């Protein structure tokens, strides 16, 4: 997409943006700014999953999913991902649309990720390697639901806390690498004013 294509899609009401990135990277704040100031339809996948699973908020979601050592974790992780894939891959509404994905977008099927790449301009808000340290601290302070895939590997004699502390950084590093590969546009998160919709659009347009 060229800047001229971008302007044309905006004018015709056919702009499709998908925001991807780590949890707490700013995706929802940015999507709400586009909805509020620029007239975009905001499709928030996290909120749709919460409604389907009848959970009040992200904290309730984290408590429901639990940690990988829990007896219900595997089934609930499967259920969570099935719901995420369903709401992520719904065809876009009419008008300019911003898809606000979850932090576990990279764990969806290849077919789902390819569909999003074909239907949307995929923008990654890149927190960078250093910021992952802060994300780790936030995770333990305010837990969010986490899809672990193959990254939870307890060692003999480890406590659950020790395993989480050792494995979570590896999970984040792998996600960061995959987000960068999946995106059409990679924007350093520290350069974005997530509450200013017009500036976000301008920033995207300048790197096309």
Euclidean distance between CA atoms 186 and 41, whole angstroms: 22
**Lowest mean per-residue pLDDT among 8-17, 161-170, 184-193:** 161-170
Q: Which residue has the higher pLDDT, 157 or 122?
A: 122
In whole angstroms, what is the distance from residue 73 CA to residue 99 CA? 27
Both structure tokens of 115 = 């569909």
Report strand pairing: 185-188 vs 121-126: parallel
pLDDT of residue 33: 98
What DSSP letter does each residue of 46-115 carry, written as one string? HHHHHHHTT--SHHHHHHHH--TTSTTHHHHHHHHHHHHHHHHSSPPPSSSEEEE--TTGGGS-HHHHHH
Residues in the chain: 208
Hey, where are the domains in the chain?
3-206
Which comes out higher in pLDDT, residue 148 or 43?
A: 43
Model confidence, pTM? 0.92
| Across 26-30, average pLDDT | 97
Its CATH class, for the domain covering 3-206, is alpha beta
Q: Torsion angle, CA of 27/181/3/200, rounded to 10 degrees?
A: 20
Q: What is the pLDDT of residue 143?
A: 66
pLDDT of residue 180: 97
> Looking at residue 159, what is its pLDDT?
87
Lookup: tokens for 160:
């659950």
153-186 pLDDT, tens per residue?
889 999 888 888 888 888 889 999 999 999 999 9
Residue 136 reports pLDDT greater than 80: no
How many Cβ atoms from other residues are within 10 Å of residue 20's Cβ? 28
Among 42-51, 101-110, 165-174, which stretch is predicted with the lowest mean pLDDT?
Answer: 165-174
Structure tokens at 55: 């959970």
For 52-95, write each residue's pLDDT tens digit: 999 998 889 988 998 888 889 999 999 999 999 999 999 998 99
- Beta-carbon neighbour count of residue 73 at 10 Å? 16
**pLDDT at residue 197, as a whole number:** 97
Residues 173, 49: Cα–Cα separation, whole Å: 25
């Amino acid at each position: 997409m060229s800047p001229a294509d971008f302007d044309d899609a905006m004018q015709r009401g056919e702009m499709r943006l998908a925001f991807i990135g780590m949890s707490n990277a700013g995706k929802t704040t940015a999507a709400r700014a586009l909805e509020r100031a620029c007239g975009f339809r905001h499709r928030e996948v996290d909120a749709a999953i919460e409604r389907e699973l009848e959970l009040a908020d992200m904290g309730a979601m984290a408590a429901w999913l639990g940690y990988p050592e829990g007896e219900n974790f595997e089934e609930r992780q499967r259920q969570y991902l099935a719901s995420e894939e369903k709401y992520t891959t719904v065809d876009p509404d009419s008008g300019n649309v911003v898809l606000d994905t979850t932090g576990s977008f990279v764990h969806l099927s290849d077919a789902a990720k390819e569909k999003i790449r074909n239907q949307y301009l995929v923008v990654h808000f890149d927190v960078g390697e250093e910021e992952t340290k802060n994300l780790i601290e936030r995770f333990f302070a305010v837990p969010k639901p986490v899809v672990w895939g193959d990254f939870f590997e307890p060692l003999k004699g480890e406590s659950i806390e020790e395993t989480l502390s050792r494995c979570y950084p590896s999970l984040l590093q792998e996600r960061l690498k995959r987000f960068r590969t999946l995106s059409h546009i990679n924007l350093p998160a520290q350069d974005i004013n997530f509450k200013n919709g017009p500036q976000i659009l301008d920033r995207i347009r300048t790197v096309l």
